[in-house]
Amino acid sequence: MKKPEELSHQLTEMYKETKEGKLHWSLQVQTTEHNEASEKPVEVEDGVSWTIDECYASYVCKYRGQDFCMITYELIKTAGNRVQTTNLLFMPPMGIRAFHLQTLLPYTIPVSNVLANQIHNLWELLLQQYKADHTSVNLDVLRGTLTIED
């Protein structure tokens, strides 16, 4: 399992190489954020009703001759203008690409603010590159469904 510091260093290098056009990425996103409000679960905590969304993003590329796979997960709770998020990061083997928390949990990497910022910067760079030239980034966005189990 990769240590957060190792991943942080690797992401710094990958960001540079991506910016230089040396890395080509495949992104797959599954999100509930654009689903109808009536389809989203609502959770009541201390009298506040929170609408719940989730978003998975899979980042895949070939980096220095080896397969790289990183999956991020964000649980988003919204109540009016208030937003709470929980972020998780997974480094599963290439054979495990499911957007399912129970499957991914054994591959969890602790997320620091620095690491979260690096992932966000990579995300923004990849979206910019996708908008400019679809050949360097393959993007697939899927509609997600979320069911909260008691």
Q: Which residue segment(s) compose the domain that 95 sits in?
A: 4-143
Residue 71: pLDDT over 90 = yes
Residue 1: pLDDT over 90 = no
Which residues have a Cβ under 8 Å from the Cβ of 127 and sit 6 or more positions away?
Answer: 137, 139
How far apart, in whole angstroms, are the C-alpha atoms of residue 66 and residue 47?
A: 50
Structural domain contains residue 148: no
Average pLDDT rounded to a whole number, residues 100-129? 93
Structural domain contains residue 48: yes
Structural domain contains residue 149: no
Structural domain contains residue 132: yes
Domain count, the chain: 1
Where do we find the tokens 């510091």? Answer: 5
Structural domain contains residue 62: yes
Q: For all residues of the chain together, what is the average pLDDT?
A: 90
Q: What local confidence, expressed as pLDDT, does residue 70 receive?
A: 96
CA angle at 8 for the pair 68 and 86, rounded to the nearest 5°: 90
Share of the chain above pLDDT 90, in %: 72
Residue 13: pLDDT over 70 = yes
Residue 145: pLDDT over 80 = no
pTM for the predicted model, two decimal places: 0.89
Residue 122: pLDDT over 80 = yes
Q: What local confidence, expressed as pLDDT, does residue 56 receive?
A: 95
**Structure tokens belonging to residue 10:** 């690797």
56 alpha carbon, distance to own chain's centre: 5
